Structure 1
Amino acid sequence: MEIKLHDKYFVPFISAQELDFAIQNMAKQIEDDFAEEIPVFVGVLNGAFMVVSDFMKHYTAPCEVSFIKMASYEGTSSTNEVKQLIGINQDLTGRTVIIIEDIVDTGNTVEELKELFKKQGVKHFKIATLFFKPEAYKKDIKLDYIGIRIPNKFIVGFGLDYDGLGRNLPEVYQLKD
């Protein structure tokens, strides 16, 4: 069933079950890799709030969670400029930090985050993203955990929005051709 947000139409793309399966797999992989540590998961707002929420339900080992707010989108296109709107107020020196992203496309936000956390002297810096658009990715930074690889099409739902609408959808829709 297609939906309309503002002036654009979107069609179903990824079901809630597929999303849950991808998030469970990422949580298990990360838990296996960092079982001996207490990682700090950093969700990137606004988009990743639903991913982080579901991820935390599946991650059973001790951990901490925090959020950072970055902005790089206007409408359906990246501005290629990333702004930090809300930062982290804790000392992360010597800690394992795992970024939880909703989506990585150009990689501009990932690059900005890597610089930011490198300055804080973290022990490990890892990136987990529910969605990855390999065709759009322009950086050399390794993504450590990828839930679902998708084509370079605009998507909404499960935290992702089109000019503020669609974040509350439990599944993902893509822009209709």
Structure 2
Amino acid sequence: MDINQLNKIKSNATILYDKHTINSALEKLKIKITADYADKNPIFLVVMNGGLIFAGQLLPQLNFPAQLDYCHATRYRGNIRGGHIEWKVEPHSNLENRHVIIVDDILDEGHTLEAIIQDCKKRKAASVKTLVLVEKKHNRKAIPNMKADYCELETPDEYVFGYGMDYNHYWRNSEEIYILNKVN
């Protein structure tokens, strides 16, 4: 895609959440995470690439010691529909007896998130919780009634991008979250 096409995608998209709304959600998450983990020596496992922007904005606001690690598991590979899970990078840290908070951009169907949860449990984590910025509302979850442990924003069952979520590997860097609209 050329730059003009990419700019047209964004200019034609509908803003779902502006920067102010996202910052408000981050503040609420900061309060909840601090209340639950300030005394637990947690490790935040950031899912690349989607969780990068969200983690980079939220985690510096936490005023307690925490360890960071990352993993890279994907189903999308730049597409707008998911496929089979591909592990690119597994966690580097020893998760045994640790309180793990998996940080990702969105809970859509949850197949990738569920695979990471199960991997953390196999590594004998003391607890495993999920922290996402956005949860998509639909009935196609990997596990019936699957929900993130920490989430403040919801999206309708539409393709969204921005603030970590991409459109064809672009626009993760947007400060807003958009609903993709068809471009004529």
Q: Same fold (TM over 0.5)?
A: yes
- Contact residue 104 and residue 137 of structure 1 kept, 8 A: no
Q: Give structure 1 regions of 4+ aligned residues with deviation exceeding 6 angstroms.
A: none
Alpha-carbon distance in structure 2 between the residues aligned to 1:70 and 1:171 = 24
Alpha-carbon distance in structure 2 between the residues aligned to 1:7 and 1:108 = 31
Tell me if 1:173 matches 2:178. yes
RMSD across aligned C-alpha pairs, in angstroms? 1.8
AA aligned to 1:162 is Y
Give SS of 1:61's match.
Answer: coil
- Contact residue 162 and residue 171 of structure 2 kept, 8 A: yes
The number of equivalent residue pairs is: 174
Distance verdict in 2 for CA 1:120–1:56, change over 3 Å: same
Give SS of 1:169's match.
Answer: coil
Q: Deviations over 1:7-56 (max 9, x none)?
A: 84422221011111112211210110122211000111101111001111
**Which sections of structure 1, spanning at least 5 residues, go unmatched?**
none
TM-score where L is the length of structure 1: 0.91
In the alignment, which residue of structure 2 is the partner of 1:107?
Answer: 110
Q: 2:155 aligns with which of 150, 153, 165?
A: 150
AA aligned to 1:158 is Y
Alpha-carbon distance in structure 2 between the residues aligned to 1:158 and 1:88 = 23
Tell me if 1:58 matches 2:61. yes
- Contact residue 46 and residue 71 of structure 2 kept, 8 A: yes
Tell me if 1:78 matches 2:78. no
Shift of 1:98: 0.2
Q: Which has the higher helix share?
A: 2
Give SS of 1:146's match.
Answer: coil
- Contact residue 134 and residue 149 of structure 1 kept, 8 A: yes
TM-score where L is the length of structure 2: 0.87
In the alignment, which residue of structure 1 is the partner of 2:32?
Answer: 29
Q: 1:47 aligns with which of 47, 50, 58?
A: 50
- Contact residue 4 and residue 10 of structure 1 kept, 8 A: no
AA aligned to 2:6 is L
Q: Deviations over 1:62-87 (max 9, x none)?
A: 111111111111421122x2111111
Tell me if 1:159 matches 2:160. no
Shift of 1:120: 0.4
AA aligned to 1:113 is I
**Which sections of structure 2, spanning at least 5 residues, go unmatched?**
none
In the alignment, which residue of structure 1 is the partner of 2:94?
Answer: 91
Q: Which has the higher strand share?
A: 1
